[in-house]
Amino acid sequence: MELIPVLIIMIPIFASMIVYLTDTKYSNNVVFVAQGTLSILAVKYFIEFEGLKEKHLLNLGNWNEVVSIVLRNDKISMLFIFLTILIWWMILIYIWDTKKRDSKFIFLLIFLEGVFLGLLQTNDLFTMFVFIEITTILSSILILYKMDGESVRAGLYYLLFNSVGMMFYLLGMAFIYYSEGTLNIDILTAKINIYQGLNLTNLSYISIMAAVGVKSAFFPVYNWLPKAHSAAPSSISALLSGLLVKSGLYVFIRINSMYGLETFREFFIILGIFTAISGAIFAVSQKDLKQILAFSTISQIGIIMIGLNQLEGETLGGIMHIINHGIFKTLLFLSGGAVVSLYKKRDVTKIRGLLKNYPLLSIFMIVGILSITGMPLFNGYVSKSIIKYGVYSKTLEYLMYFIDILTLTYFIKLSQIFFGEKNINLKNHKLGIYKKIPLYLLSLACIIFGNFYIPIYSLFTEASIKYINLFNISEWLLFGLKAAVAYFLYRIIVKKDYNFIKFLRRTNISFSSTNFLFILFITIMIIWKL
């Protein structure tokens, strides 16, 4: 019972090794058994420690706490662990039929799950570095799994840029070790004192935040994300967008609570606004289905950043939006992948007739679109309202309405695939049963999280969220007004496809300019501190 955190990490790793070494046709059953054991262990761990009201530490090897490896679980990490297990179940059911004999793919996928669960539980800066690097290497192999020209290029860009970013994490760690003498997060939380000026502790914070910025796609350094998420196979795209981008945000939450710094709060809110607006503008100009969804991920990360940097104790909106975004972005990518594999095209202006040919698939996709744009009765509305209640100035609230209108615009552009006539050529292509089950379960999760959020979130937090009213008439009217303005914007500007929009679609930044933007990012943070 005490060793459950270690078992949660080790069970997927052993199962993946068994699958790789014995290459039989029963590998799916091995994976099913391993994943089922993992879920039962996680639930049992949560119930046994009474919801983890205080954190649970597990010291490996019983060494002194200053130098040992400690695993730690509290409410936030349990929330992330449950989200991880849910999304991995969905991905495994989605690829049950098509990748049955492919033992290398299953090996990489299940190994990645074990490493990610290890990342969520560490209490130590160096083990966090090791797990992030292993995640980078494994996901870059998974991105270029198809081995055609575009995937290989995207995989190399992703690998090199993230590795350069993590070098700055190592630099910040060197500074902290020199001034404090330990690398344990609990001891450092009690020990760090922040003075003004430009001493070693502030420089270490800036370095680590630069590395976290590369990993979670902030404003100047997000160029790896559209290339990687649109060149990968569709199940891996769903995994990357739904979950692995959130690993950077998890490290952000941990490091912020460790330092307790106040000067950078406004900086990150402004950065979040820039990320959201630039992501939305680029998404409006794209024509490829997966590129629209990839840029929409960047835009939602901007909104999460605004939510996570409120005053102390009001960060529930950001964390709730992380969970909700994981669920509906996975739903959108999986159904988008099904559409691309059925029509064999990726251009939004050429695919037609989804509603008449595949009514069930289009219902799932409509549920996803309504969740992400924030319609009441779905889960996007809840988290966005909490974030909107928390901002402290009126201009920020109007900017968030503007971001909502842009989100609606590019999703109206995406929803032109629903209209059209019934096509006789596609009658032979049908959607398998294994692809329908995860879409159904994820849509159900969207609706449940949108209505019954109070009992679910009362297990994990003590903040009260009773002030959100689902049946307020003014909220419905506001949503209708935003949709009308977005449709107006779409008809006038986007449909004509001006030269400016064509220019935005074709910009490509080379690797050296991206690194230059990275150095600029660090310089701006140093100047802000002075």
Partner 1 sequence: MNPILSFIIMLIGIYGIVTSENIIKSIICFSIIETALILLFLNLGNGNHGDIPIILEGVKNMVDPLPQALMITTIVIGASTTALALMISIKIFHYYGTLEWDELLEREG
The interface mask with partner 1, positions 58-77, x = CB under 8 A, is ---------x----------
Stretch in the footprint of partner 1 (CB under 8 A) among 162-170, 282-290, 293-301, 496-504: 162-170
Binding flag, residue 319, partner 1 (CB under 8 A) = no
User: How many residues are listed for the chain in this entry?
Assistant: 530
Separation of CA 442 from chain center: 16
User: Candidates 73-81, 148-156, 265-273, 457-465 — which segment interacts with partner 1 by CB under 8 A?
Assistant: 148-156
504 binds partner 1 (CB under 8 A): no
Interface residue with partner 1 among 401, 419, 500, 516 (CB under 8 A) is 516
Scanning 70-78, 323-331, 433-441, 513-521 for contacts with partner 1 by CB under 8 A, the matching segment is: 513-521
Please pick, from the candidates 32, 82, 89, 511, the single residue that binds partner 1 as defined by CB under 8 A: 511
Of positions 190, 512, 527, 530, contacts partner 1 by CB under 8 A: 512
- What are the CA-CA distances from residue 243 to residues 91, 122, 237, 445, 510 (Å)? 11, 18, 10, 16, 27
Q: Which residues pair with 122 in a beta bridge?
A: 71
Tell me which H or E stretch contains 18.
helix 4-21
Task: Give the orientation angle of helix 224-231 with respect to helix 289-308, to 10 degrees.
Answer: 130
Rg of the chain over all Cα atoms, to the nearest angstrom:
23
User: Among the candidate windows 242-250, 338-346, 413-421, 514-522, which touches partner 1 by CB under 8 A?
Assistant: 514-522
Q: How far apart are CA 321 and CA 445, in angstroms?
A: 14
For partner 1, the closer of residues 128 and 445 by Cβ is 128
Q: What b-and-e string marks burial along 518-528, b requiring 16 or more CB atoms within 10 Å of the CB?
A: beebeeebeee
Tokens standing for 96? 């049950």
Q: Which stretch binds partner 1 (CB under 8 A): 135-143, 186-194, 344-352, 444-452?
A: 135-143
Residue with tokens 């190994």: 111
How many angstroms separate the CA atoms of 211 and 163, rounded?
9
Q: Give the Cα separation of 79 and 81 in Å (integer).
A: 5
User: Please, are residues 300 and 329 in contact by the beta-carbon 8 Å criterion?
Assistant: yes
CA angle 463, 464, 467 (to 5 degrees): 145
Instruction: Pick the stretch among 75-83, 137-145, 387-395, 438-446 that binds partner 1 (CB under 8 A).
Output: 137-145
Give the single-character DSSP code of 248: H
Question: Of 132 and 334, which CB lies nearer to partner 1 in the complex structure?
Answer: 132
140 binds partner 1 (CB under 8 A): yes
Q: Count of residues binding partner 1 (CB under 8 A)?
A: 35
Q: Closest separation between CB of residue 508 and partner 1, Å? A: 5
Q: Which of 76, 159, 253, 298 binds partner 1 (CB under 8 A)?
A: 159
Q: Mask 76-115, x = binds partner 1 (CB under 8 A)?
A: ----------------------------------------
Site string for partner 1, 17-46 (x = CB under 8 A): ------------------------------
Does position 515 bind partner 1 by CB under 8 A?
yes
Binding status of residue 160 toward partner 1 by CB under 8 A: yes
- 78 C-beta neighbours (distance < 10 Å), count: 21
**Residue labelled with tokens 């700055």:** 168
Q: Contact between 339 and partner 1 (CB under 8 A)?
A: no
* CB nearer to partner 1: pick between 204 and 310: 204
Residue type, 245: V
Residue 193 Cβ vs partner 1, minimum distance, rounded to whole Å: 20
Provide CB contacts within 8 A for 63, sequence distance 6+. Answer: none
Provide, rounded to whole angstroms, the least separation between the CB of residue 370 and partner 1.
36
Side chain identity at 31, as an amino acid letter?
Answer: V
**CB 145 to partner 1: min, Å:** 12
Q: In the structure encoding, which two tokens stand for residue 249, read together?
A: 């945000």
Q: What is the DSSP string of 402-441?
A: HHHHHHHHHHHHHGGGS-S---SGGGG----HHHHHHHHH
Residue 456: CB atoms within 10 A of its CB come to 12
CA 250, CA 77: separation in Å to the nearest integer? 9
Closer residue to partner 1 (CB): 498 or 516: 516
Binding flag, residue 170, partner 1 (CB under 8 A): yes
Least separation in angstroms between residue 484's CB and partner 1 is 39
Residue 441: CB atoms within 10 Å: 16
Specify the stretch interacting with partner 1 by CB under 8 A; choose among 110-118, 130-138, 403-411, 462-470: 130-138
Among 28, 37, 39, 163, which residue sits at the site for partner 1 (rule: CB under 8 A)?
A: 163
For the chain, the straight-line distance linking the first and the last C-alpha, in angstroms and rounded, comes to: 50
- Taking the least distance from each CB to partner 1, the nearer of 84 and 139 is 139
Work out whether the CA dihedral 340, 344, 349, 351 comes out positive or negative. negative
Quick check: 152 binds partner 1 (CB under 8 A)? Answer: yes
Tell the smallest beta-carbon distance from residue 164 to partner 1 (Å): 6
Nearest distance in Å: CB 305, partner 1: 26
Q: Cα–Cα distances in Å, from 522 out to 64, 155, 204, 247, 273?
A: 36, 25, 12, 21, 18
Query: Is 210 near partner 1 (CB under 8 A)?
Result: no
- Rule CB under 8 A: is residue 198 a binding residue for partner 1? no
Interface ranges with partner 1 (CB under 8 A): 67, 126, 130, 133-134, 136-137, 140-141, 144, 147-150, 152-153, 155-156, 159-160, 163-164, 167, 170-171, 174, 177-178, 508, 510-512, 515-516, 519
